[in-house]
Amino acid sequence: MRKCSLDSINKIFGKIAETNKLYLPVDGSDGVAVYTKWEEGKEWSNALNTVRSPKDFFFPQVENLMEFKTSGKNIELTDIREEAEDFVIFGVRACDVRSFDILDRVFLTDPVDSFYASRREHGVIVSVACSKPSETCFCQTFDNIDATNPLGDVTAWKTEDSVYFKANTEKGEAFMKKIESLTEECDDTAVAAEKDKIAAIMKKLPLKDLSADAFGGGKTDTFFNVPEWDELSATCLGCGTCTFVCPTCQCYDIKDFNTGNGVIRYRCWDSCMYSEFTKMAHGNNRLSQKERFRQRFMHKLVYYPENNEGIFGCVGCGRCLAKCPISMNIVKVMKKIGGKVNE
Amino acid sequence: MQVKEYKPLIVAFCCNWCSYAGADLAGNNRLNYPADVKIIRVPCSCRVNPMFILRAFQRGADGVIICGCHPGDCHYTSGNYYTRRRMAALFSMLDFLGIEKERTRVEWVSAAEGAKFAATMNEFAQTVASLGENKRLEDLRCKK
Amino acid sequence: MNKMEETLIPKIGVITDVRIDTPDIKTFRVVTPDGKKAFDHRPGQCAMLSIPGVGEAMFSITSSPTNTEFMEFSIKKCGCVTEWLHQAEVGQQITIRGPYGNPFPVDDVFAGKNLLFIAGGVGLAPLRSVINYCRHYRDRYGDIDIVYGSRSKDDLLDYKEIIEEWSNDAGVNVHLTIDNPQEGWDGHVGFVPNYVKELGFDTNKTAVLCGPPIMIKFTLDGLTSIGFDKTQIYTTLELRMKCGVGKCGRCNVGSKYVCKDGPVFRCDELEELPDEY
Amino acid sequence: MQKITRDQLVEKAVALLSDGTVSAVLGWSRGEFDYDITPAVFKSAEEVKENFVWNDFCGANFSKYLVAQTGKVEGKILVFLKPCDTYSFNQLLTEHRFDREKVYAVGIPCEGMADIAKVREIVGDGIVSIEDDGESLKVSTLYADAPVLVGAKDVMAERCVNCKSKKHVAFDELMGEDGEVIESARFDEVARLEAMTPDERFLFWQNELSRCIRCNACRDACPACTCEKCVFDNPDSAVENKAPANSFEEKMFHIIRAFHVAGRCTDCGECSRVCPQNIPLHLLNRKFIKDINEFYGEYQAGAEVGSRAPLVDYTTEDLEPGEVFERGDQDA
C-alpha cells in the first residue's frame, strides 16, 4: 500500500496525464460532478458520484461503427475501427466498478464486441472508497460490492489529508509504478480506520435492509403477471432518464446517418422505455408503457441473473432514485412487488 | 498554392407562386446572382418548417433565405402571414443561441420582381460571405 | 492494428437474381462480389441484410444449406428496408452478416421422424430452407407433410417449386389451401388451422409451424386438440433486432434473446417465456 | 409551509371517492424519502389515506396525465391542480386533448415548491428526513449531528421563485383562497442573456446543451408536448437520430422542442425540473414567450380556454422577421 498527501494529488494526476488520458469527476459549471479529462487547474470533485455513469468510457452514448460510400449499385465499406488509446478513469465508486463487470458479461461474451473490448483493454480503473455514501445508495443489497473496498485495477481511499493506493491487477501494478516517486510506502492502519468509518455509515443508510432475495433467475412466472405493475407504471413518462443514467443499461440501437456524401453507421444508447424500441413493420410486442416498464425491471432483477449465475443487473448506485422525473425507481419496484424489507 | 476563394452556400426556399417565378424571371432576364444559391421550391413559404432551416445548415448551408409572396398576396390567402410570425420567432431564437442572425432572412419577392430576386441574392450572398463559414450550426459529419 | 473479427461489420453481397413470387413477395439471390456464398448456415438461421442509409433488418435464409452456391431470401414488402429491396435490381450491392440464431434440430431431433410442416403466407420462407434440406437428405427422414395456406392463389410463395418439385417427391404430401374461393383454384379453401384439423394428422410426427402470430396460435391449439404434444411442435419467432448477437436488448423476451436463443423454439420452451412475442 | 394541509386534501379526495363523484384520484404518492414523490392514480379511499402526500416536493404537474388517464378511468377522475397547473390544464383543453367532462378539478393553493438540489447544496448529501417547520424545512442528514433548518424561500425551485400566477384559471372547486397573477421577474434571466454578445450567448448555450443526454424527459414531461407521435420518434422524419451525436444534434433537438411548444407553452417549468442534467431549458421557452409578448402583444397560454395561440394567428400589420433585430438594437 502506498500513499500521498491530498494536497499533492494533482501532481499524481499530472504524472499520469503525461502518458495517458486521465478522466476523473470534476465539478461542472452547475456544481454537478462530471467525468472530465484532467488538465492543469481541474480539481477532483468531492461529490459522491457523477450523474452520468462512467459506462460512457467503454460504451459511449454515440459511436461510429463503420462508413459506407455508395456509387450506382456498388457499396464500399470502410472499417473505421481504431485501437483505443490507453486511458485512466480515476475515482470510480464501488457500484460503478461493479457495473463494468455486468457490461463485460454482455459485450465480452462470444461474439466479443470489439469496440467495447478495445476500450476495456486500454482502460485502467482507479476506484475510490465511498467516504460519504448518500441516502440513495443501496449497493449493499447486491453481492460483491463493497463500498469500503471497491474493486478495479487500483483501489484508492481518500481520507481527510491523504490518498492511499493499492494495486489489484497487473494494470494496477503498472499504474503504481508510474506514480511510485510521488507516493510513499505505508501500512494499512489509516485505511482500516477509513474502512471502519465507512462501514459504520453503511449501517445507517436508510436502504440498508433492502433485499433482492425474492428476485433472481427463474422467477419470471412469479413476477411477470403481478397486478402491481399497473400501479407502478401508471405515471411513467416513458422517457429514457433511468436507462441513460444507469451504469448497467446496455441496450443500443444501430442507425445510419446519411451525411450527403456517404453513410455513417453508428450505434447509440437506446431505451426499453421508448415506445418504438420493439416496433417492427408488423407491429409492436410491447404496446403499453406498463410492458416496457416491466421489461426494464424484470431484466435487471430476473432475466439478467438467470443468464449470469444469479448476478443482478443493478449495482445500487442510486442514480435512478435521484433522477427519475417522477421518482419511480427500482427500489420502489423491489419493495412493492417482492423484496419486502428484511425486518 | 492558390487559396480557394470562399463562396458561401446559400439555400433559398422559394414559394412556388411568387418567388420561384421571380427567380425564373431573373434567369430569363439574364440577371446574375451567385451560382451557389440553391433554390428549393416549396408550395408556400409557410411550408418551411424550422427543421428545414436547421437541416439546411446541418448539410452545409452557410445562409438560409426564405422567399414568399408579399404579405397580402399569398396564393393561399394567409400562408405568408404565418411564415412571418414563425420566422420572426425562430430567427430570434437562433440569435438567442448565439447563431449569427445575418445567416437567416425572409424576403418577399413577387413573380414580377426578377430584379429584386437577383439583387436580394447578391446582397445576401455578400452578407453571408462576410460572415465566413457557418461554424455554429454545422454538423462535422456532413463536412467530410 | 490487428483487427478483431467484428460481427457488426457486414460483408458486401450482390443481388444476382430477383424472382417475383407474389404481388408483395420477392425472392432475392445473394452472393459475395466474387460470386461465392457469403457464409454457411443451418436450416432456420437468419442473416442481417442492410442497405446503407436505409437500415438493417433480419431475414430468414430461405435457401437450403445444401445449396453451396448462393443464398436466397424471400422478402415481403412491409417496411422501409423491404420496400427498398423490392425496387432493387440485379447487380445491386447490399450488405450481409450472419448467420444468426439457432437452427432447426434437423440432424438430431428430426432425424428419422415423420415431419409435418405448416406455413401461412410468407411464413413459408423460413420453412423452405428446412423442407429442401430434408428433401435433399430424403432417406434420413420419414414421411413429409406440408400444409401451406395463403390469402389467395397469387399469394402462394414458391408455387412453381411446390407444384413441380415438392409434390412429385416420393413420400412428400403437399396440402395447399387459400383463404377465399378464387377462380381457377380447385384446391382446398379455408384457413390453415381448420385445414390442419380437417386433415387430422397422425400424432407420430414432429410439426414445424410458421406464419402470422394469429395463425400460429390457432394452429397450435388445433394440433394439441388432435393429440400433438407441445414438445413435438417447433416454431420460429420474429422480433425487432439490431445486433443479431444478443447484446442490443431489443429481442429480449424473458431471459431469452430471440436472435441468439431463437428464432427456433420448441413450443413447450415458448410457453415458459412471458407472453411478449 | 403549504397553506393547505395533507389532511384537508385527503379528506376531500376520500369524500369525492365515497360519494361517487369521482372514481379515481390523481395525486402525489409517498416515496422512500420525504422528497421523492411519485404521481399516482389512487383508486380507493384506503390507498389515499395510506399513501397520499402533500408537501413542498409535490411539484409534478398532473395536467398531462389527464390525456391518458381520462381514457383509462371509468367515470370522473379527481385532479388536484396548483395554480400553474391550471394553465396547462386549460391549454390542453384548448387543444382538445382530453374530455373536460371526465375530470373533477380541485384547485389548491401553492406557496411554492422546494428544489431538492437546492436543499442538497445547503445541507449536503445523505438526507434522511425533511420536516416542514412552518417557514423552514428541518433537514436531518447522515452527516450532521443535529437537523439543519433551511428557509423554505432559500430552497424554492426557480420556477416558484419566479411564479407567474397564484390565480387558478380552471377548477370545479377551489380549496383555500385564490391568489392573483403576479408581476414576476421571470424574464430577467432571458434579458440578461439577450444583453450578452452573440459569442457569449453561444458559449453559454454550447456549455449548457452539451450536457444533454437526449433522455427526452423534457419532452415527455411537457404538458404541451402531447403529439401522438413525436417527430423525434418517427423514423421517417429523417431527424430521429436518437442521440446527441454532436453539438448540432443537441441544438436542433432543443430548438425544435421549444419551437413546437412556442405560443402554447404555459411556462410551467416542468422541462427544467425533470432535466437530469440541470439544463435551464425553461429559458428557451421563456425566450419565445418574451418575444411573442413583445412582438404580438401580451399572451399567456392557458389563461383562457379557446384562445388562439400566437403562432397560429396573425395580423396584417405584424413586424417583419428582419425587424426583430432592429427592435433589439434599439433597446440596446
Interface test with D, best of B83, B96, B138 (most D CBs within 10 A): B96
Fill in the DSSP letter of residue A73.
T
Q: How, if at all, do strands C114-120 and C205-210 pair?
A: parallel
Residue D328 has pLDDT above 60, yes or no: no
- Overall domain count for chain C: 2
Contact A210, A138 (CB under 8 A): yes
Q: How far is A88 from chain C (nearest CA, A)?
A: 21
Position B58 confidence tier, pLDDT thresholds 50, 70, 90: very high
- The single residue listed with the C-alpha cell 386533448 is D97
Q: How far is C248 from chain A (nearest CA, A)?
A: 5
- The single residue listed with the C-alpha cell 428430426 is C110
Mean pLDDT to the nearest integer, D245-271? 92
Q: Are residues C152 and C202 in the same domain?
A: yes
Which residues 245-304 of D are in CB contact (within 8 Å) with B?
245-246, 248-249, 251-252, 255-256, 258-259, 262-263, 284, 287-288, 291-292, 295-296
| Mean pLDDT computed over every residue of chain D | 91
Residue D324 has pLDDT above 70, yes or no: yes
Angle at A114 between CA A85 and CA C60, to 5 degrees: 155
> Closest-CA residue in chain A for D221?
A237
B93–D288: do the CB atoms touch at under 8 Å? yes
Contact B115, B26 (CB under 8 A): yes
B88–D251: do the CB atoms touch at under 8 Å? no
Name which of C9, C82, C254 is nearest A220 (Cβ-Cβ).
C254
A258–C89: do the CB atoms touch at under 8 Å? no
> Closest-CA residue in chain A for C247?
A106
B96–D255: do the CB atoms touch at under 8 Å? no
Name which of D202, D245, D310 is nearest B85 (Cβ-Cβ).
D310
pTM check: above 0.80: yes
Model pLDDT, residue C121: 86
Give residue D119's identity as a one-letter amino acid code. Answer: V
Q: How far is C220 from chain A (nearest CA, A)?
A: 19
Model pLDDT, residue A339: 56
Contact D131, D116 (CB under 8 A): no
Name which of B78, B89, B92 is nearest D311 (Cβ-Cβ).
B89
Position B99 confidence tier, pLDDT thresholds 50, 70, 90: very high
Interface test with D, best of A37, A208, A241, A279 (most D CBs within 10 A): A241
Which residues of chain A are within 8 Å of residue C212 when distances are taken between CB atoms? Answer: 282
Burial of A11 (0-12, 13-18, 19+ CB in 10 A): middle
CA distance C47 to C28: 13
C249–A265: do the CB atoms touch at under 8 Å? no
Which CATH number does the domain B10-132 belong to among 2.60.40, 1.20.120, 3.90.1690, 3.40.50?
Answer: 3.40.50
Contact A113, C5 (CB under 8 A): no
Model pLDDT, residue B96: 94
Mean pLDDT by 10 residues, chain A (343 residues): 91 92 91 90 90 93 93 91 91 94 92 92 94 92 91 93 93 91 90 92 91 88 89 92 94 91 92 87 84 93 92 93 93 82 39
- Which cell numbers hold the place of A327? 421518482
Q: Are residues C48 and C136 in the same domain?
A: no
D202–B139: do the CB atoms touch at under 8 Å? no
Give me the CATH number covering residue C118.
3.40.50.80
Which residues of chain D are within 8 Å of residue B89 when distances are taken between CB atoms? Answer: 259, 262-263, 288, 291-292, 295, 311
Q: Are residues C27 and C92 in the same domain?
A: yes
Q: Are residues C148 and C222 in the same domain?
A: yes
- Which cell numbers hold the place of C18? 430477383
C6–A114: do the CB atoms touch at under 8 Å? yes
- Which cell numbers hold the place of A74? 456498388
Mean pLDDT to the nearest integer, D203-222? 93
Name which of B104, B106, B137 is nearest D251 (Cβ-Cβ).
B137
CA distance D193 to A329: 36
Model pLDDT, residue A29: 82
Burial of B130 (0-12, 13-18, 19+ CB in 10 A): exposed
CB neighbour burial string for B68-82, b if at least 16 within 10 angstroms, e if fewer:
bbebeebeeeebbbb
Give me the CATH number covering residue C63.
2.40.30.10
Give residue C41's identity as a one-letter amino acid code. Answer: H
Which residues of chain A are within 8 Å of residue B141 when distances are taken between CB atoms? Answer: 257, 259, 264
CA distance B122 to B37: 9
H-helix or E-strand spanning residue A14: helix A9-19
B58–D296: do the CB atoms touch at under 8 Å? no
Contact partners, residue C75, CB within 8 Å, separation at least 6: C25, C26, C27, C28, C59, C82, C85, C86, C122, C125
D50-85 pLDDT, tens digit per residue, is 999 999 999 999 999 999 999 888 899 999 999 999
Give residue A31's identity as a one-letter amino acid code. Answer: G
Residue D327 has pLDDT above 90, yes or no: no
Q: With helix as H, strand as E and coil as C, how does A168-213 read?
A: CCHHHHHHHHHCHHHCEECCCHHHHHHHHHHHHHHCCCCCCCCCCC
Chains B and C touch (3+ CB pairs under 8 A): no
B5-45 pLDDT, tens digit per residue, is 788 999 999 999 999 999 999 999 999 999 999 999 999 99
Whether the bond into A111 is cis, omega within 30 of 0: yes
H-helix or E-strand spanning residue C19: strand C11-22
CA distance D217 to C229: 48
Q: Are residues C125 and C219 in the same domain?
A: yes
The residues pairing with B31 across neighbouring beta strands, listed in sequence order, are: none
How many beta-carbon contacts under 8 Å exist across A and C? 124
CA distance D271 to C182: 58
Q: Which chains touch D (3 or more CB pairs under 8 A)?
A: A, B
Nearest to A261 by CA among A74, A69, A76: A69
> Closest-CA residue in chain A for D274?
A325
CA distance D171 to A238: 28
What is the separation of C-alpha C259 from the centre of its chain, rounded to a whole number of angstroms?
14
Q: With helix as H, strand as E and coil as C, how does C191-230 read?
A: CHHHHHHHHCCCCCEEEEEECCHHHHHHHHHHHHHCCCCH
Does C31 reside within a domain? yes
CA distance C46 to C245: 11
Does C94 reside within a domain? yes
Q: Are residues C122 and C95 in the same domain?
A: no
- The single residue listed with the C-alpha cell 499530472 is A14
Is this complex's ipTM strictly greater than 0.95?
no
Which residues of chain B are within 8 Å of residue D248 when distances are taken between CB atoms? Answer: 57-58, 137-139
Q: Are residues C151 and C63 in the same domain?
A: no
Q: Which chains touch C (3 or more CB pairs under 8 A)?
A: A
Q: Which domain holds residue C198?
A: 114-236
Contact A67, A80 (CB under 8 A): yes
Q: Does D33 contact chain A (CB < 8 Å)? A: yes
A81–C8: do the CB atoms touch at under 8 Å? no
Contact D220, A237 (CB under 8 A): yes
Name which of C8, C240, C254 is nearest A278 (Cβ-Cβ).
C240
Nearest to C238 by CA among C139, C74, C148, C123: C123
Which residues 86-115 of A are in CB contact (within 8 Å) with C?
106-107, 111-115
- Which cell numbers hold the place of C30? 445473394
> Closest-CA residue in chain B for D191?
B96
D143–A132: do the CB atoms touch at under 8 Å? yes
Model pLDDT, residue A340: 44
- Which cell numbers hold the place of B34? 451567385
A245–D213: do the CB atoms touch at under 8 Å? yes
Mean pLDDT by 10 residues, chain C (277 residues): 77 93 91 91 92 91 91 90 92 92 89 88 90 89 89 85 82 88 86 85 87 86 86 88 89 89 88 81
CA distance A256 to A266: 6
Model pLDDT, residue D332: 39
Mean pLDDT to the nearest integer, D192-204? 93
The residues pairing with D131 across neighbouring beta strands, listed in sequence order, are: D138
Q: Are residues C28 and C51 in the same domain?
A: yes
> Closest-CA residue in chain C for A270?
C248
Q: How far is A29 from chain D (nearest CA, A)?
A: 9
Domain spans of chain B, in order of start: 10-132
B141–A259: do the CB atoms touch at under 8 Å? yes
